[in-house]
Amino acid sequence: LAKTTQPISMDSYEGQEVNITCSHNNIATNDYITWYQQFPSQGPRFIIQGYKTKVTNEVASLFIPADRKSSTLSLPRVSLSDTAVYYCLVAADNYGQNFVFGPGTRLSVLP
Amino acid sequence: NAGVTQTPKFQVLKTGQSMTLQCAQDMNHEYMSWYRQDPGMGLRLIHYSVGAGITDQGEVPNGYNVSRSTTEDFPLRLLSAAPSQTSVYFCASSYVPGLAGGPAGELFFGEGSRLTVL
């Protein structure tokens, strides 16, 4: 299993860009990188997924260097409502014990 | 579409009691799973299923039982509740890529069931 390491917590201010980096040194060839967001008292919600280079959607961007040993989730111009826990997962699929949610990064957006 | 629906949202049990947490999805997803989340921690996989009639154990299966008789439903049974099972339980579902494979399917989560065992 590809183990991931990400910061336990981060603080930011409204309007700033936030970058959360995840390390996954032993990522396998078939693994994808997926990020989820979890608000208090809710289930996690899919944000973005990628395999290499850059992926962008309406809420975030995901940057993956060529060696794929790390990835960075970028949230542009955060607001108070972006305060949540962000999970980085690395797996070839989301089935069973291969898809592991670690403690995540607790992002606090301050006014 | 309702997505993934969990019931009940809250439950208090006494040690030794049994109960079933219900999970239903209306997206025709083959894959369903149950996680538990303890305060300040990530989610831990309890049991999962890749289709009707097929179930398998996750990371923390002891004390829990599951069955999958239909595509839509995946109930989680607590056989004899213990205080250590006090937690928030999440059910999730996703499609299963075909033979050609592909990226992991997006997991859709329910709103959670908060269980307290006294």
Best CA proximity match to A31, nearest among A86, A74, A68: A68
Q: What integer pLDDT is reported at residue A93 of this predicted model? A: 73
pLDDT in tens, B77-93: 999 999 999 999 999 99
Contacts of A100 in chain B (CB under 8 A): 42, 45
CA distance A63 to chain B (A): 17
Chosen for mutation from A57, A93, A100 (greatest number of chain B CBs closer than 10 Å) is A93
Residue B14 pLDDT more than 90? yes
Is the previous residue joined to B61 through a cis bond, with omega within 30 degrees of 0? no
Q: What integer pLDDT is reported at residue B42 of this predicted model? A: 86
A29 touches chain B (CB under 8 A): no
Average pLDDT, chain B: 91
Residue B101 pLDDT more than 80? no
Q: Is A44 exposed, middle or buried (0-12, 13-18, 19+ CB in 10 A)?
A: buried
Q: What angle do CA B70, B71, B76 make, to 5 degrees?
A: 70
* Dist CA B87 CA B39 (whole Å): 8
* Dist CA A80 CA A88 (whole Å): 21
Contacts of B104 in chain A (CB under 8 A): 32, 34, 49, 91-94, 99
Sign of the alpha-carbon dihedral angle for B66, B67, B73, B78: negative
Tell me if A43 and B56 make a contact (CB, 8 A cut-off): no
pLDDT in tens, B17-58: 999 999 999 999 989 999 999 987 889 999 999 899 999 999
Q: What integer pLDDT is reported at residue B96 of this predicted model? A: 74
Q: Tell me which chain A residue has its CA closest to the CA of residue B108.
A: A45
Q: Which percentage of chain B shows pLDDT scores above 90?
A: 76
Best CA proximity match to B91, nearest among B42, B46, B50, B55: B46
Tokens of A58: 């309406």
Tell me if A46 and B106 make a contact (CB, 8 A cut-off): yes
pLDDT level of residue A35 (50, 70, 90 thresholds): very high
CB B5 within 8 A of CB B24: yes
Nearest by CB to residue B48, choosing from A43, A46, A95, is: A95
Length of chain A (residues): 111
- In chain A, DSSP finds a helix count (H) and a strand count (E) of 0, 9
- A1 alpha carbon, distance to own chain's centre: 17
pLDDT in tens, A58-92: 999 999 999 999 999 999 999 999 999 999 998 87
